[in-house]
Amino acid sequence: MSEQRFGEWVAVRRHDHVAELVLDRPKAMNAVSTEMGRRLGEATRALADDPSVRVVVLTSTHERAFCVGADLKERNSFTDADLGRQRPHARAAYTGVLELPMPTIAAVHGFALGGGFELALSCDVIVADGTAVVGLPEVSVGVIPGGGGTQLLPRRVGAARAAELIFTARRVPAAEARELGLVDQLVAEGEDRTEALALAARMAANSPVGLRAAKRALRLGHGLDLRAGLEVEDAAWRTVAFSGDRAEGVAAFNEKRTPQWPGE
C-alpha cells in the first residue's frame, strides 16, 4: 500500500485499483477547515485524473467520528469577507467528491454531521457501522446545508423526509439511519472501513470503462423522464460498446478466464 499526502490532513492510499481517500485531522474530528477543504479539492482532482483508479473509498482515521462538518471554531473568527473567500474552497471539497467519475463508497462510523454527512451523501454508497450518527444540523447554528445536503438528501429519502430531518436538525442513530435509507449498509462496530474496502475491491474487479459509464448513466439519468433517461443510458452504452474493455470482456467470457481490462 502506497500513500500520498495532500497537506497535513488528507491522504490517498492505494490498494491496487482502489484508492482510499482518508480524512486525517483527528484532533478536530475531521472538521473541514479552509485548508482541509482546499486539500480535499486537490486530492479529488488528482483522483479524477488517474485512469488507474477504479473505485474510491472515503474513510476517517478518527475513532469516534467520520467528519463533524465545517470547522466552526475557525469560522467563529471570520468576517463576512472571510466567509465569502472560503466558500469556493468549501464547494470544491464537496463537489470534488460528488463529481468523481468512478464509483465512490463512504465508510462511516461515529459522527457524520453537517458537511461530514454531505461528504458521505456525495458518495454512491454509504457503509456505516453501529456507532454512526448522521444528520444535517446546520439550521441550529443559523445556516443551511451548503455542501449539497438540500439536494442530495431528498434524492435519497424523498422531499418530505428530507425536510423533516433538515428542519429539525436532529441526529439520527445508525439503526434508524439504515431504516430511513440514509445509509445503505449497516455493519458490525469497527468494520465500516474493512467492509467498504471489500465492496470496493469487488467493484474494481469489473471493467473500469464500464464502471465510469454506468455511474455517468445513473447520475445524469436520475430525475429525468423515462424517455430522456434512456437516451442518457444509450449515450453511456456507446462509450463502452466500442471500447477495448468490451472486446476483452467478451473474449474472457468465451475463453473462461479472468478479464485483463485495458481500461480504454
Q: What is the pLDDT of residues 14-29, one digit of tens each?
A: 999 999 999 999 999 9
Q: Give me the pLDDT at residue 155, please.
A: 96
In degrees and rounded to multiples of 5, residue 19 shows phi and psi of: -110, 130
The alpha-carbon radius of gyration of the chain (Å, integer) is: 19
* Overall pTM > 0.85: yes
Distance (Å, rounded) from C-alpha 246 to C-alpha 39? 36
Do 37 and 28 form a contact (C-beta atoms < 8 A)? no
Active centre residues (catalytic): 70, 115, 118, 138
Q: Are strands 55-60 and 65-67 parallel, antiparallel or unpaired?
A: unpaired
Q: Give me the pLDDT at residue 1, please.
A: 75
Q: Give me the pLDDT at residue 168, please.
A: 98
Distance (Å, rounded) from C-alpha 126 to C-alpha 123? 7
Confidence of residue 144 (pLDDT cuts 50, 70, 90): very high
Does residue 229 surpass a pLDDT of 80? Answer: yes
DSSP 168-217: HT--EEHHHHHHHTSSSEEE-TT-HHHHHHHHHHHHHTS-HHHHHHHHHH
Percent of the residues in the chain that have a pLDDT greater than 90, as a whole number: 96
Q: Give me the pLDDT at residue 101, please.
A: 98
- Among 192, 175, 64, which Cα is nearest to 120's? 192
Percent of the residues in the chain that have a pLDDT greater than 70, as a whole number: 100
Q: Please state the rounded mean pLDDT for residues 181-195.
A: 98
Q: Please state the rounded mean pLDDT for residues 243-251.
A: 96
Q: Please state the rounded mean pLDDT for residues 55-80.
A: 94
Which residue matches cell numbers 455511474?
215
DSSP 135-173: E--GGGGT----SSHHHHHHHHH-HHHHHHHHHHT--EE
